[in-house]
Structure 1
Amino acid sequence: MSQASQAAQGGRTTPSARTSRPMVLAGGAVLLVAVGLVVLMLARPSSSSPSDTGTGSSTSAPAETSADVGFARDMAVHHQQAVEMAFVVRDRTADVAVRRLAYDIINTQANQRGMMLGWLETWGRSKSSPGPPMAWMGHAFTSRGDGALMPGMATDAELDALRAAKGRDAEVRFLRLMTAHHRAGAEMAQAAADAAGTEEIRNLASGMVLGQRSEIALMADMLKERGATD
């Protein structure tokens, strides 16, 4: 942010310099209000949301068994591991491209996760489900007990190996794990984009499909540069 210019004569500031500072502060306040309104609009369920046929306080909230609620819960968990892996590799390589990718994943997926958890709260739905993941897709996933709670997620052993790796080894491990993670995530997001009843989930899921497919292509090139494949 640029500073207001000052014209000093005899150690005194001109009137124009004194009046510019309140204008800058006022402009900043307007920007903060505008950003706040955008956040509220994103977090508010649309009036076209399907009627609730389950439990909850809102009559316009998606049903407990809906694709909207199921996707928000499952993808929040899926995103959480992606963010964790991105933090791990960020601290284990000095490669600018990999660190930039990790930074993008951390920011994008942490933000999306926050939005989905916020919608669940607004809808009066719990943030976790007592049933198995992906039941909303018509094929519930049964965990193998290795830490991979859904397709594409890394196992506990794979995460431990990533944490122990450094340099090129860490980069290749991360790119392979994240490629598998994104492929399964994009498939889940496409299912939600097709089946969701709320505009919020349809729009978010459609954006996820495009974003993660783009990153899959980017990671394929990065693996080739390191003499590896996915």
Structure 2
Amino acid sequence: MTTDTGLPPDTVSRPRRTTPILGVIAVVVAVAAVLLFLTRSQAPGDASPEAGFARDMGVHHAQAVEMSFIVRDKSTDDQLRTLAYDIITTQSTQRGIFMGWLQQWGLDQASLLPPMTWMAGHGGHGGAGAATTGSMPGMASDEEMKRLRSAAPGKDAEVLFLQLMIRHHEGGVDMAEGLLKLSGRAEVRALAQHIVNGQLAEIRQMRELLTNRGAQPLPSILGK
């Protein structure tokens, strides 16, 4: 059997569809370029609340992780060690998210701006003063960290850790609530709200652990 051309069917050239395919590829490339441009153009700036929150909360979380490692090695109480482990894993993960955001936004992980500048003029409880002094609310001082490292294993270290970490969590809640007042960016707001909910729950747990040890928390910086 032959075709009208006199050639066997298998040798007849089939029409090429290169042009439509190239058109589709061009459209996909164009859409991707537009999305990339929009993502870059909408990324938070260096002095934005989102960037300041990510940087400062990353530092804040790093201290909480350090404190939790210290008490984990000084305590044999299963409940307290589990709490310390939860803080280590949760806040290490969140800190990684903060650093990932900064990289995605094309920003440095550190800034020449003083800490808490992003909350200046907006305030919170601990955050209002912190925004003007350049310190982060709830952070343990160098002297307090030395006391925790040198505290006797067992109850002494546990009580001091709980007191410092309750205040530390209150500072974290204050910062996260400050971000919620300032940012409309969905992913940052979602994590900030998660921090508020999670750390308030851990504060309640730590207050109970302190009571069980016959101790009281430090004065609250949240006013609630």
Q: Normalized against structure 1, the TM-score is what?
A: 0.71
Distance 1:108 1:141 in 2: 29
Task: Report the residue type matching 2:111 in the other structure.
Answer: S
Counterpart residue number, 2:158: 171
Query: Structure 2: any 5+ residue segments left out of the alignment?
Result: 1-34, 122-130, 218-224
Distance 1:214 1:226 in 2: 19
- For the residue of structure 1 that corresponds to 2:155, the secondary structure is helix
Corresponding position: 1:189 with 2:180: no
Corresponding position: 1:226 with 2:213: yes
Query: Structure 1: any 5+ residue segments left out of the alignment?
Result: 1-46, 53-57, 144-148
* Aligned 1:97-176 pairs, distance under 5 A: 97-139=79-121, 140-142=131-133, 149-165=135-151, 166-176=153-163
Give the stretch that moved more between structures: 159-168 or 77-86: 159-168
Corresponding position: 1:198 with 2:185: yes
Counterpart residue number, 1:23: none
CA deviation after TM superposition for structure 1 residue 132, in Å: 1.2
**C-alpha offsets along residues 43-83 of structure 1, whole Å, 9 cap, x if unaligned?**
xxxx8xxx89xxxxx32211222111110011000000000
**C-alpha offsets along residues 119-141 of structure 1, whole Å, 9 cap, x if unaligned?**
00110111112111111112534
Question: Is the contact made by 2:148 and 2:157 (CA closer than 8 Å) also made in structure 1?
Answer: yes
Question: Is the contact made by 2:50 and 2:179 (CA closer than 8 Å) also made in structure 1?
Answer: yes
Q: Normalized against structure 2, the TM-score is what?
A: 0.73
- For the residue of structure 2 that corresponds to 1:61, the secondary structure is coil
Distance 2:181 2:188 in 1: 10
**C-alpha offsets along residues 134-156 of structure 1, whole Å, 9 cap, x if unaligned?**
1111253425xxxxx41210011
Report percent identity of matched pairs.
50
Aligned residues: 171
- For the residue of structure 1 that corresponds to 2:162, the secondary structure is helix
Question: Is the contact made by 1:189 and 1:206 (CA closer than 8 Å) also made in structure 2?
Answer: yes
Task: Report the residue type matching 2:165 in the other structure.
Answer: M
